Homo-oligomer: A and B are copies of this chain.
């Protein structure tokens, strides 16, 4: 498997939400059927404190003694009391919600989401996610999130026009992940796609490859950034540029189509650099079905280090776009905007690091 060590359990603990988890698998009695839900007043009565004190504990406010705090949380657990976030948000004026819009069909966003949850909770914010689907448009998801009175909106690889995004940014602070849009209205967080692809090409050249083909998903957001990394590396290493351009889908089908194009030629290159991990899956599957051995005949690389790259049968050399780093930067940018400490658009480039696994080797020829 090779690969890099995964984030350990300590990280899980560190970023676990600080608020109480009211429903758990322990032995809390279930509320009577048909009974009204327990209120803050019920918790206060059980502990023998004021309702206001219970409120302070659930707002994580300072000034409550540790003992009292523990008693209140325990009583809430036993009674099955859950703080009503919607009502609380309205009373407080600020909702403490951050909206996130993503497409679950892509594997990289899914891994970023978990860190958005973690870092938002750490800062006292809650996440409301809205999923894009083939029949559910981004503008619809944006309207929904605005309706939830979120204080900021994080868009992962949004496909809306820059004009629409600017207009929305007039209503609510926006952070865009994974797409470069020159602007001063919102913040950008994206990985160093150019240097990431450059490091992959450099790795392959170091193994002795001289015929290194790049699969360019033309319609992929940030596709141009990654392509530029290939171009600069090839130029620096005095290699010949070999680019297969694929329009439309830029994930599995993109890789499969590129494989068919390459198989139709007289000879395959000795190495193929893909625009992302999912494309590498489609490419390697199609090549393997045609009898091509990986990496004996052809070395293959991806980008993202998503779960696809770590599958045992892929064992893919790739570029790690650290979802934790991306999530942290996005939440930080959102909170800067919410708290008025950020006004003009910022751009954060997160790290993109080569991860060498078993899909690359010295060329046979």
Binding site for B on A (CB under 8 A): 11-12, 15-17, 21-25, 28, 30-33, 37, 80, 82-87, 89-90, 95, 104-105, 110-111, 113-114, 117-118, 126, 128-131, 133-136, 139-140, 142-144, 146-149, 160-161, 163-164, 166-168, 170-171, 252-253, 256, 282, 284-286, 288-289, 291, 293-294, 307, 311-314
A15 to B136, CA, bound (A): 10
A164: shortest Cβ distance to chain B, in Å?
Answer: 5
Q: Is the beta-carbon distance between A139 and B311 smaller than 8 angstroms? A: no
Contacts of A311 in B (CB 8 A): 252-253, 256, 282
Which listed residue (B11, B22, B31, B104) contacts A170, Cβ 8 A?
Answer: B31
Residues of B near A89 (CB, < 8 A) are 86
Note all chain B residues with C-beta closer than 8 A to A143: 21-23, 82
By a CB distance below 8 angstroms, the chain B residues around A21 are: 139-140, 143
Partner of A113, one of B16, B23, B133, B147: B133
For A30, list chain B residues within 8 Å (CB).
166-167, 170-171
Contact yes or no, A105 B307, CB < 8 A = yes
The answer on a CB contact under 8 Å between B289 and A167 is: no
Given A133-B114, A291-B291, A311-B252, are A25 and B139 also a contact pair (CB < 8 Å)?
yes
Name the residue of chain B whose CB is nearest to the CB of A29. Answer: B167
B147 near A23: Cβ-Cβ < 8 Å: no
In the complex, are the beta carbons of B23 and A256 less than 8 A apart?
no
Closest approach, in angstroms, between the C-beta of A37 and any C-beta of chain B?
6
With A86-B90, A285-B285, A311-B252 as contacts: A170 and B33 at CB distance below 8 Å: yes
Residues of B near A149 (CB, < 8 A) are 84-87
Q: How far is the CA of A220 from the CA of B95 in the complex (A)?
A: 38
Task: Specify which chain B residues have a CB less than 8 angstroms from the CB of A139 in the assembled complex.
Answer: 21, 23-25
A110 (CB) vs chain B CBs: closest residue: B104
Other contacts beyond A114-B135, A256-B312: 14, CB < 8 A = A80-B167, A82-B147, A84-B147, A85-B147, A85-B148, A86-B86, A86-B89, A86-B147, A117-B136, A253-B311, A286-B313, A288-B288, A289-B293, A289-B313
Complexed CA–CA distance, A95 and B87 (Å): 11
> Which chain B residues border A80 with CB–CB below 8 Å?
167, 170-171
CA of A21 to CA of B89 in the docked complex: distance in angstroms?
24
| CA of A114 to CA of B134, assembled, Å | 8
Could you say which of B110, B114, B135, B285 contacts A15, with CB atoms under 8 Å apart?
A: B135
Q: Is the CB of A83 within 8 A of B142?
A: no
CB-CB under 8 A from A131, the residues of chain B are 104, 110, 113-114, 117, 129, 131
**B95 and A104 within 8 A (CB):** no
Complexed CA–CA distance, A313 and B292 (Å):
15
Assuming the contacts A104-B113, A110-B104, asked whether A82 and B133 have C-beta atoms less than 8 A apart, the reply is: no
Closest Cβ of chain B to A74, distance in Å, is 16
Interface residue from B86, B110, B161, B313 paired with A148 (Cβ < 8 Å): B86
Q: Give the docked Cα–Cα distance between A16 and B133 (Å).
A: 12
Please provide the 5 A-B residue pairs with the shortest distance between their CB atoms, ordered closest to farther: A114-B133, A30-B170, A104-B104, A85-B147, A288-B288
Partner of A146 from B11, B24, B82, B160 at Cβ < 8 Å: B82
A25 adjacent to B163 (CB under 8 Å): yes
